[in-house]
Amino acid sequence: MRRLERAACLGVLVSCLAGCEPPRVAPAPEASHGSVIFRYSAPGARVVQLVGSWDENSFLRGRDWTSDTTVGLMEDADRDGTWEIRVPLGPGRYEYLFRVDGRTWHLDPSNPQRVPDGAGGERSLLVVR
């Protein structure tokens, strides 16, 4: 291992021993009574949006999406860094991503199911039965 790599590893180890916590992952989507609760951990985020392939959300169906779009706004009511939204969804297959602060797109780390997005990336997949 090169000296620089060893120094970087040592720095991470020292930080962790000093009390850093591993990143939190919010629970997987939870279906209940005709709706699904989506959660995403993003401490420090100002805005988190759920974008998906269902009609009420429309982004992943190829419709317009601008920086002013307010569809899928999630809430962090207790300010613990876990954002949440309840979406009425019936049985079916749904693709989704999380959009943080209007700039970055994220897969759901708590859901290992993925589908190709057609542009070389992936989307999270949820199957509601």
Q: What is the pLDDT of residues 30-42, one digit of tens each?
A: 998 899 999 999 9
Q: What is the β-pairing status of strands 92-100 and 30-32?
A: unpaired
What residues form DSSP beta bridges with 37? 30, 86
Record the pTM.
0.76
* 3-state SS record for the chain: CCHHHHHHHHHHHHHHHCCCCCCCCCCCCEEECCEEEEEEECCCCCCEEEEECCCCCCHHHCCCCCCCCCCCECECCCCCCEEEEEEECCCEEEEEEEEECCCEEECCCCCCCEEECCCCCEEEEEEEC
Tell me the CATH number of domain 23-128, given options 2.60.120.20, 3.50.50.60, 2.60.40.10, 3.20.20.70. 2.60.40.10
Average pLDDT over the chain reads 81
Per domain, the residue ranges of the chain are 23-128
Read off the pLDDT of residues 44-92 as tens digits, 9 standing for 90 and up. Answer: 999 999 998 887 776 655 555 555 566 789 999 999 999 999 999 999 9
Whether residue 19 has pLDDT greater than 80: no
